[in-house]
Amino acid sequence: MSVHAERLTKTFGATRALDSVSIEVESGSLVALLGPSGSGKTTLLRVLAGLEFADPASGPILFDGEDVARLSVRERRVGFVFQHYALFKHLSVFENVAFGLRARPRRTRPPRAEIRRRVGELLERVQLQDLGERLPSQLSGGQRQRVALARALAIEPRVLLLDEPFGALDAQVRTELRRWLVRLHEDLHFTSLFVTHDQAEAMEVADRVAILEQGRVAQVGTPEEIYYAPATEFVASFLGEANRFQGAMDATHVAFGPWRMPIPEDAPRGAGPVRVYLRPQDVEVERPEASSPASTPARIVRLHAAGPAVRLELALSDGTPLWVEISQRRQAALALREGARVGVHPRAWRTYR
Amino acid sequence: MLPGFGLTLGCTVTYLSLILLLPLAALCAQAASLTWAQFVETLAEPRVLAALRLSLGASALAAAIDCVFGSIVAWTLVRYDFPGRRLADALVDLPFALPTAVSGIALTAVYAPNGWIGSLLAPLGWQVAFRPAGIVLALAFIGLPFVVRTLQPAIADLERGLEEAAASLGASRTRTLVAVVAPGLLPALLTGFALAFARAVGEYGSVVFISGNMPLETEIAALLVVTKLEQYDYAGASAIAVAMLVLSFAALILVHAAQRLASRRAGSAVR
């Protein structure tokens, strides 16, 4: 089922949590709403669910073309998963999952045996078939969140909305659970939006990522597009790390730091001052003697070798610090040490006005 | 063992002994001056039995009424913001603050057959003051703050996500209240019931004015104790007192057991 919302605005008192947000979600896709706290991502999710209502001047919220903006959360048939699970503590796992089916009006309520069968199926799906009689307090955090997911899926929701679903879990369970969610999504192909402030999570789980900034959508795209071609300076600074330079652009080149490089293909042209973003992975490190024309000398101030990549803190000849990341293999080939001299030059850079 | 255990436990035991156990022991000692046969005989008097039944029955009923209306009051005060909410919140404590005799006189004045409300009810053939209904009314009056004050924090602590989750699963508001909210509040509600009940069993001041104190009909046990004392029947008074003590204690243990069961079901130790 596709979701299409237009010009959603939501004000709480004097603060504008959503500022004319439009969003389009294709049927069967898994979309991440990513942004810093206070960017409006949770508010957007709650407005889509019907837990909050957008300001009256807002546009429609279409579920497969049907406007649900005026419907209550009960009528929208959305599955909602809360950060802190919100399981019914006094009900068993089985009864939690069965809640939505039992809450239906008598006419549409499935018979007992059918409820039993469907809940059993869902518990199997979330790998909790043996824990149906437990109370939520007897489960681990990861298990609780899977119960919450099964409970939301039980009503056969038109769209599944997850509010920081892994936010309350510790790092290892988190990674496991998000891989599991991706597999579940591949199996069932529900349309889903989830809120997160963790960029790694958004990049790993989502088909598409929407970046929110102060109640507005800054960019929507695939994780690759967002990461490699950030549309705004905010997106560039929010995702990953970057070295920032004040630069100057002329007709053909942009000068920043010690370098004068060609203007990136997709960047708007025109002379004037620009800000240049250079990712730590986009810097080439060489031996000082084997340097290419654009190479400039630098000194290694600090070297952090622990982890999947080696992180270098360099100082350019005028003292400007530069963060660089190279692979362990490259580090082994160069045999770098703290205090050593190297040559560096940018491989890719982005400019913003 | 945490440091300071010996000192604090010593203080606790000493204080409880002085303030609680010693008077109770004196009470039992006084009652022990009766033989078992005399003790049973004292309690078996129809007037005493009626008073005990009335005290416990009216207290239980009043506490139950407090639970119904106290829940509504507490819910309103926590969940809604309206002009005068702070004032209403402060008013809840009034029964605590008023001398009980003042409450008794005020209630009697309003509900007596010639009072503001009593005069309206009289043509319908309903009389509140000087009837058991009056006693229940007075006990409900003094017990209300206990229920409201125990429920308020419990309602404030209710996770809003639970109600939202229930609504997103399609549950009606009524179903959400019954199946999700009420079980979460049950432990606190039972505590409130126990407190209101305990207070009502011991209540004297506000009841004596409104009850009329007719032996066998509207005479409560606490009043009977005072009556016996005035007749210098110390042993008889303490026999009734011991009976009240045992019955109240049994009732409280029962409520406590129910409350523990509810807490365990609610998955937390709300106390």
Q: Which residues pair with B170 in a beta bridge?
A: none
Write the CATH number for B221.
Answer: 1.10.3720.10
User: Higher pLDDT residue, B126 or A55?
Assistant: A55
Domain enclosing residue B129, as ranges:
24-270
Instruction: Give the list of residues 6+ apart from residue B88 with CB closer than 8 angstroms, or none.
Output: B77
ipTM, two decimals: 0.81
Q: Is residue B150 part of a domain?
A: yes
Question: How many domains does the structure of chain B reveal?
Answer: 1
Nearest-Cα residue of chain A relative to residue B169:
A100
Strands (E), A114-221: 159-163, 192-196, 208-213, 216-221
Q: Using CB atoms and an 8 Å cut-off, which of residues 94-153 of chain A contact chain B?
A: 99-100, 103-104, 135-137, 148, 151-152
Chains A, B: CB contacts within 8 A come to: 74
The pLDDT tens digits for A340-351 are 899 998 998 999
B267 pLDDT above the threshold of 80: no
Average pLDDT, whole number, for chain A?
90
Q: B-chain residues within 8 Å CB-CB of A137?
A: 267-268
CATH class, range A241-352: mainly beta
Q: Is residue B243 part of a domain?
A: yes
How high is the pLDDT of residue B270? 38
What CA–CA distances, in Å, run from A224 to A202, A219, A227? 11, 12, 5
Determine the CATH number of domain A3-237.
Answer: 3.40.50.300
* In contact, A316 and A257? CB cutoff 8 Å: yes
Average pLDDT, whole number, for chain B?
89
* In contact, A212 and A20? CB cutoff 8 Å: no
The pLDDT tens digits for A61-102 are 999 999 999 999 999 999 999 989 999 988 999 999 999 999
Q: B-chain residues within 8 Å CB-CB of A122?
A: none
Q: Is residue B207 part of a domain?
A: yes
Every domain range in chain A assigned CATH 3.40.50.300: 3-237
| Element (DSSP H or E) covering residue A18 | strand A15-25
Instruction: Give the list of residues 6+ apart from residue A166 with CB closer than 8 angstroms, or none.
Output: A145, A173, A174, A177, A178, A196, A198, A201
- What angle (nearest 5°) sits at the alpha carbon of residue A105, between those of residues A53 and A192? 45
A40 pLDDT above the threshold of 50: yes
